[in-house]
A and B are shown apart, each in its own frame.
Chain A
Amino acid sequence: MLETKEMLRKSSLMKTNFIASCTREQLKEIRQFLSKELARTHLSDSEQHQIILAVDEACANAIIHGNQCNCTKSIKLNLEISEDDLVIEISDIGNYRPNEIKWQSRDIATNIRERQKGGLGLKLIHKIMDNVSYFKRDKINICSLTKHLK
Chain B
Amino acid sequence: MIVEKRVQEGGLLKLAIKGDLDASSAIEMDEVIKSALGESQFNILVDCKQLNYISSAGLGVFISYLEDFKNNHGGFVFFDMNENVYNVFKLLGLHNIFSIVGNEGDAKKILFNEN
Using a CB–CB distance below 8 Å, which chain A residues touch chain B?
24-25, 27-28, 31, 45-46, 49-50, 53, 56-57, 60, 63-64, 108, 111-113, 115-118, 120-121, 123-124, 127-128
Contacts and interface: CB of A to CB of B under 8 A. Distances in A.
Nearest to B60: A117
Nearest to B53: A31
The 3 closest A-B pairs by CB, nearest first: A117-B60, A24-B24, A120-B56
Where chain B touches its partner, the secondary structure class is helix
B99 interface: no
Nearest to B97: A108
Contacts of A108: 63, 92-94, 97
Interface in B81-115: 83-84, 87-88, 91-94, 97
B80 interface: no
Interface of B: 20, 22-24, 26-27, 30, 53, 55-57, 59-61, 63-68, 83-84, 87-88, 91-94, 97
Contacts of A127: 91-92
A57 B55 contact: yes
B23 A24 contact: yes
A118 B60 contact: yes
A26 B84 CA distance: 21
B88 A111 contact: no
B69 to A, nearest CB: 11
B81 to A, nearest CB: 13
B91 A60 contact: no
Contacts of B30: 117
Contacts of B60: 111, 116-118, 120
B63 A49 contact: no
A32 to B, nearest CB: 10
A112 B56 CA distance: 14
A30 to B, nearest CB: 10
Contacts of A27: 22-24
Contact of B59 (A49, A50, A56, A120): A120
Contacts of A60: 22-23, 55, 57
A117 B63 contact: yes
Contacts of B24: 24-25, 27-28
